[in-house]
Amino acid sequence: MPYPAAELKRKLREVKRLEINLRFNGNAERAEGKLVWDDFFDIGRRIRPARYPLQKLVNLDRQSLKEILAEYFYFVYYKIYQENGLSAEMLYDPGVLNLLGIPVTATDLEIKKRFRELAKKYHPDLGGDGEKFIELMGAYEKLTSGRK
């Protein structure tokens, strides 16, 4: 059963406050314009499009919402690692995963499989787009460097 819109808005605001607390020690002024939340969610007050507008979220079941929140928090913690200079060797860059159409929870095997699918599709010798193939190779190299 989907969440009512008002309850979902409240929960998303709590998630936003949590990111502000995690990344900016509760300082909302420092967080302005720097939140992962801004790219993910839109509860109806923005002009810039978000990945998950409220209209889309209210139609999802609870499991789908949990998956979206898991993806969101992966991005948040990835940002925390980057901002604090911590080693993120065991984390994949979520932007690159998104570019390849791979969920942030993907395993090494799933990434390799998706890469092979896309390599066949974009390889210039097989009639694919050479520029896309080069972009794909760079993304795969970024994901796999230091993980062998």
Where do the domains of the chain lie, and which CATH numbers do they carry?
A: 5-83 (no CATH), 94-144 (1.10.287.110)
Dist. CA 59–CA 38, nearest whole Å? 20
What is the pLDDT, as a whole number, of residue 144? Answer: 76
**What average pLDDT does the segment 49-64 reach?**
88
CA distances 133 to 14, 58, 128, Å, are 41, 37, 8
Q: Tokens for 20?
A: 């502000």
Q: Which two tokens stand for residue 118?
A: 């896309």
What residues pair up with 52 in beta bridges, in sequence order?
A: 41
141 phi, psi to nearest 5 deg: -60, -40
Residue that wins the pLDDT comparison between 49 and 123: 123
When the pLDDT of each residue in the chain is averaged and rounded to a whole number, the result is 84
* Range 114-117 contact pairs with CB under 8 angstroms and sequence separation of 24 or more: 115/140
Say yes or no to pLDDT of 46 above 60.
yes
Main-chain dihedrals φ then ψ at residue 85, nearest 5 degrees? 65, 25
Instruction: For 58-112, write each residue's pLDDT tens digit.
Output: 999 988 998 899 889 888 988 888 887 766 555 677 778 878 888 877 778 888 8
Most confident of 14-18, 78-82, 110-114, 131-135: 14-18
CA 136 to each of CA 43, 83, 97: distance values in angstroms, whole numbers, following the listed order? 33, 26, 11
Res 10: pLDDT: 92
